[in-house]
Structure 1
């Protein structure tokens, strides 16, 4: 093999190897930032991993919102029309958060069977439902109460 050709081959193989390593590192780094969406039915079936960052969504169950008078702690339940999951949140809720409306929470499932949320997203108007929630909510009847999904 000609020396120049051999040198080009080594360079190409080195670039392919470095590119593959970089792609592997990026993929590995992104794995820790992925949030998987689960409906309340998946919680009841035991499909949700503990202490891993997840998203859950559905309608806020009317009458389930309980606010602590001494802190920002709020407890509420979300449902997909079949099952419910309890959520604990200790920050200020979005202005459009309401009972009977769609919401998505991001947090971790705790050993007590509730989600400790670090973010709550509320439906922002009557014409939009987040895609994750729309998939779990087949029709208006699935949402407990007078919600408009």
Structure 2
């Protein structure tokens, strides 16, 4: 085989290896990615059961209830148009309360309940994660 053909073959193999590594990386990231949804997005589009996602909105007033075990909390997340029941077992952030912004990481169950594995609460009265602020703004502009 001529040196020119050897170099071409080596270059093609190197290119194929780089493309293969890139595809493997994208595949791994795709499985680990956590997508953000507002309650109205979930009601409109649906979310696959068991898929890791983030659910964001406001904790509805009067919806928080602690279970007798002391660590399980049930509450409702709303964006003004739709509501989603959420269950979280663990220690809630200090800033977590009703009528406050929250992002819950977890997965949906078949009955429509969101089981959270982690809760993120807003930091002060003026702060809201950009994703929630955008979704809340979109939702409010669509209301009659």
TM beyond 0.5: yes
Residue aligned with 2:126, SS: coil
Residue aligned with 2:68, SS: coil
Trace 1:45-64 onto structure 2 (pairs within 5 A).
45-64=44-63
Distance 1:46 1:17, change over 3 A: closer
- Report the RMSD for the aligned CA atoms in angstroms: 1.8
TM-score, normalised on structure 2? 0.91
Distance 2:12 2:19 in 1: 11
Gaps of 5+ in 2: none
Give the corresponding residue for 2:13: 14
Distance 2:89 2:70 in 1: 8
Give the corresponding residue for 2:73: 74
Give the corresponding residue for 1:83: 82
Q: Deviations over 1:55-98 (max 9, x none)?
A: 11100001100001223000000100111100000010001111
Distance 1:60 1:98 in 2: 7
Q: C-alpha displacement at 1:126, in angstroms?
A: 2.4
Trace 1:106-125 onto structure 2 (pairs within 5 A).
106-125=105-124
Distance 2:60 2:76 in 1: 6
Q: C-alpha displacement at 1:14, in angstroms?
A: 0.8
Q: Deviations over 1:117-137 (max 9, x none)?
A: 001100012232101111121
TM-score, normalised on structure 1? 0.88
Q: C-alpha displacement at 1:46, in angstroms?
A: 4.9
Flag the structure with higher helix content: 2
Distance 1:14 1:46 in 2: 42
Give the corresponding residue for 2:98: 99
Give the corresponding residue for 1:147: none
